[in-house]
Each structure stands twice: as C-alpha cells, then as structure tokens.
Amino acid sequence: MKVFSFDIFDTCLVRKCGTPENFLDVLSYMVFSGDVSEDVRQKFIVERRKAASRAYADDKAKLSDIYNNLEYTHPLLFPKEKLIDIELECERLMLVPVLCIKNKIDDIRSKGHRIIFISDMYLSLDFIKSILEKYGICKEGDAIYVSCEIGKTKSSGELFRYIKEKEHLEYSSWEHYGDNIKNDFQIPKSLGIKVHRVEHIYAPYQKKWINNDFSRGYKFPSILAGISRSVRYSNEDNQHKDFVLDIIAPFYCSFVYKVLKSAADKKITKLFFCARDAYQMYRIAQRMQPLFPSIEINYLYISRDALYNGEEDVKMGYFKQIGLTSETEQIALVDTTTSGKTLRYINDLLHRQGYRKLYGFYFLLWDDKRNIDVDYDNSHFELSQAYIRDNHLYSPFLSHIWIFENFFGLNDQPKTIGYELKDDNYIPIFSEEIGNEDCVSDNQAYWSKVHEDLLCKYAEAYMQTEIYRYSDAIFSNIALPTLLSFFTVPEKLYLSALLEYRRGASVDPYVRKESLFRLLRSRGRDSKWSRGTLIYNLPQWVVDLKFGKNHKL
C-alpha cells in the first residue's frame, strides 16, 4: 500500500475571494456591528495581519492566539470571542472544493491506498475536517495533520518527519501533492518523497484583472478573479465554462446590481425582467434581492408577437393580474437591448387605461438615430447606437450584437405568442419553440442549464464576497473592457464556447474548427467571425505576431 498526501488550502480547497489577503478584505465587512469608514476597515486588516505575525512565533498558534494578539479596538468592533466565530463562518462561506483534486483522491482511495491531508495552518483540525467532509474530500480512515495541533510545520520539514514516524512510512512509498513551491515541492522532495506540483491557474482574463490591465489601483479585480477561478475549479469542466465565468458573469452581475441600486434610489417597487433575453439576469437578480427588500423581482412573459397581436383587454387583464399596473407605484422593465418600441407600446396602453407609466432599464438602445419611439423620460440605458457611431471604441458591440443579445442570454424558456383567459385566469400562450431561435445549437437546452447554474453560483459568490459594493467600477473598468477586448482580439480559450453555434438558419457556425490547410484557403471566411476562427486555429505565436502579443485595446 502506498501513501498519498495532499496539501489542503489552494490544493484541495480554494477560496472564492482568491488570496488570503483578499479573505481579510471580505472578513473586514463582517467584524463591525455597524457601518464604518473605509479607513477603519483597512485599519482592522492591518492590525489583524500584525496579530498573526506575533502569534506565528509559536508553531502551535491557533486562531484564538491570533485574536489574543490583536491590539486593535473600535467601538463597533465585535468582542474577540465573537470575532473568532465570525472568521470561521467567513471561511465556511469562502472555501469551495477543487473538483479535479477530489476526483483524483477518490480514484486513489478506490485502489486501496492511504490518504493523508497536511497543512501549515492556524485553523483547528476539527474545523478543517468539517470542511473536507462537507465536500466529500475527506472520508473515514483518512488522516489529517495540522501544524497548529502538532507544533511542527511543513516549512521546516519537521511535519513530514513527524508523519513518517507516526504512520510508520518509508519516504520511497510516499507521494505528496501541493501548490507551494517550497513547502509542498522542494522540502518533501529533499526528503525523498515523490512530489506533484498542483497549480490552479488563473484564466487569461482573470490574469489581466489581477495585473490591473484594465483597472489601475483597485483591489476588487483580484477578488473578481478569485470568484471566477473558484467556480471554475469547483464545477465539471466544459467548453462554455470560461466564457460564462470571465465574460458574461462579471458583466451581468455588475449590470444587474446597478439596475437594482438605481431602482431602489428611484423608489421603484417592482422590476419585471423581460422574457427571454433577460432570463439569466432575472435569475441573478433573485440572488441579489435580499439586499433590496423593498423591490419585488418578477419575470415577464412577453414578446413582440404577444404585444402586437391579440385583444387589448386580454393583454391588460394579464398585466393587471401579474401586478404590472399601478396608479401610484413606480414599476420598471429590465432588458439587455431595446429599440424603445416595447416600452412605448406598453406605456401608451397603460396611459389609456389610467395607470402610471413604466420605467425601463437597458444596456443598449438600438437604432435610436432613426427611431422616434424612444421614451427618454422613462428609460435608462448605458450605451446607445448613436453614441457608438460617434465613438468607435465601442463599435465591436454593434459588430457582435448577435453574440451579445443571444448567446449571452442563452436560455431554455418558451416563446410567448399571446395571452388568453382560462378558468378566470389570464395566462401566457407559448409556442413549441424553446430558447432563442436566433441562437441555434443541437445541445441548446443542456448549455442553457449549464449557463444558468454557473451564473447563479457566480452571483452567490459575488454577494458573499461583498464585491457588489464596487459594481459601478467593475462594470466600467472590468466588464466593459473585457467585453471589448474579446470582441476586438479574443483570447483563444474562450472561443471554444462558440464552435457549435449558428445564427438563425445559417449553416455557418460563428467560429469554426478547421485544419491548417483549409484555414489557409478559407482564411476563416466560411464562419460568421473570421477573426475568431483564425485565432482559434492558428498557432499562438502566429496569433501574437499578427494581432499583438498582449491583445490589449
């Protein structure tokens, strides 16, 4: 029987917030009984680090020892005993399993080998064990060795020697997995243990956020990268995952939060997310709603066909039934893009019936140069087509409007074609068509659920890390530049999500996988996005030479 040992933190588990430094940022929002200024929060972080440094003089230092060394006081800071509980609860929120490592451990265990977990850590063995057991990583018969319980560390090599004696091992029959180049690689290797370096790398855009390629001088990009990485590694691998987590999720989460915050400021009591393009944003808004208890989140079954066809009294009956009408309350619609016609049509209908007009929240106002139907007094949009025409930096949004409108909002929702009165209830009538007919794939229902699952998990982490506080900056400094970077010179990793997708009845996919011979002949022109096809298929050095190594705007 062989023995396989695993480091715990950043090997078996990763934090949603990314680094231990970022963890203290998240923690600092939880340790005060009321709102405090930014300098007070940062002061706690600095003093918590100093307390840890003082406690680490003892290899047996536990979390309680760190707080016994905390010299910082503030009227709103919780007592030290409660601070310990708060930090443990914060760890529970932040820690998630690395699925590929769990699967490796399961495979090793199934072959009859012994599993050991090792960590230089101030958290207790019981706490760490509870997290590992929660995710099915540690099971009965496995051993856990933690430095603070034993008084010996990996960094000195003594913890490995202790385990050798305790387990009656030979170094030659021992293999160790871990992320730290010194503690998990160099030291055990010097003892004769076979070592495996574990690296849970950051994806290309995550690295750019951390390096502040888009946003100078802020810390939240690192936390944002941590969220994407944690969801990436705690879920099954698939070709859409990186696109959803690094391109769609930061944009949707920051935009939806901005909408909710603006709605609260405007005293709007109900938000209706329009089917089907806004479905994924609706699912995200449901997770953010506890921050905005005065706002009711709804999903509106609607389409152009349903609006422009059918009897007016039936449509009004449905609107009244779902709470879309009010003489006093301010109610709003939410969608990704608009020409202004839907809001104008509904508001004209409501006005004729004596009800208050709706407000509209949108990302992009489409074709307002020619459209006289836009109700500017009752709508908000981040960008307009007319503005983009005069500001070429944003022109990729128009070139790739199909991806933005349809693939981003990929869903399995039925199309609404009208409304009817049935058994004293007004109900929507659906067509047999599922999802968006403009975004076609043989596996659309499956991928819709994948997108929804990833986006909801991302949104939960977005809330738990409290990074929503920076949503305005995330939207402007991370989400939009990332979108524009992808639409301009996309990173190869993310293009695989578009391989099987076609626009409407088109036979050509948006991006095609091709042999080098065919690529030289076609130059990508047999796909909807020739540049995307070229970048996906060409060797990286050719891409760097042709489009620029850093792929910056």
Supply the angle between the helices 540-547 and 530-537 in degrees, to the nearest 10. 140
DSSP assignment letter at 355: P
Q: What's the confidence (pLDDT) of residue 435?
A: 59
Tell me which of 404 and 247 has the higher pLDDT: 247
Band (549; pLDDT cuts 50, 70, 90): low
Tokens, residue 38: 């930014």
Residue with tokens 């879920």: 235
Average of pLDDT values for 242-249?
A: 97
d(CA 116, CA 167): 10
DSSP code for 93:
H
Nearest to 468 by CA among 24, 26, 8: 26
**Tokens read off for 415:** 């199309």
364-397 burial: b if 16+ Cβ within 10 Å, else e: bbbebeebeebbeebbbbebbbeebeeeeebebb
pLDDT at 392 over 80: no
Q: What confidence tens digit (pLDDT) does each residue in 308-345 have?
A: 888 999 999 999 999 999 999 999 999 998 888 899 99
pLDDT digits (tens, 9 = 90+) for 49-104: 999 999 998 889 999 999 999 999 999 999 999 999 999 999 999 999 999 999 99
Q: What is the mean pLDDT of residues 238-254?
A: 97
Contact assessment for residue 302 and residue 273, using Cβ atoms and an 8 Å cutoff: no
Domains 1-200 and 248-446 share a fold: yes
Q: What is the mean pLDDT of the chain?
A: 91
Q: Distances in Å between the alpha carbon of 474 and those of 192, 375, 467?
A: 47, 28, 9
Sequence-ordered strand ranges (E) for 313-352: 330-338
What is residue 473's predicted lDDT score, i.e. its pLDDT? 93
Residue 553 has a pLDDT of 37
Q: What is the secondary structure of 245-276 as a DSSP string?
A: IIIIHHHHHHHHHHHHHHHHHTTEEEEEEETT
487-542 confidence digits (pLDDT tens): 999 999 999 999 878 776 667 888 999 888 888 888 888 888 999 999 999 888 88
- For the structural domain made of 248-446, what CATH number should be given? 3.40.50
Read off the pTM. 0.93
Is 236 or 377 the better-scoring residue by pLDDT? 236
- Report the percent of the chain where pLDDT is more than 90: 75
441-451 per-residue burial string, b: 16 or more CB within 10 A, e: under 16: beebeebbebb
Average pLDDT of the segment spanning 225-230 = 97
Q: Within 13 A of 420's CA, how many CA atoms are on the CB side?
A: 6
Domain ranges of the chain: 1-200, 248-446
Q: How confident is the model at residue 452 (pLDDT cuts 50, 70, 90)?
A: very high
**Residue 552 confidence class, pLDDT cut points 50, 70, 90:** very low
CATH of 1-200, one of 3.40.50.1000, 1.20.1250.20, 3.40.1380.10, 3.30.70.100: 3.40.50.1000
Q: Residue 215 pLDDT > 70, yes or no?
A: no
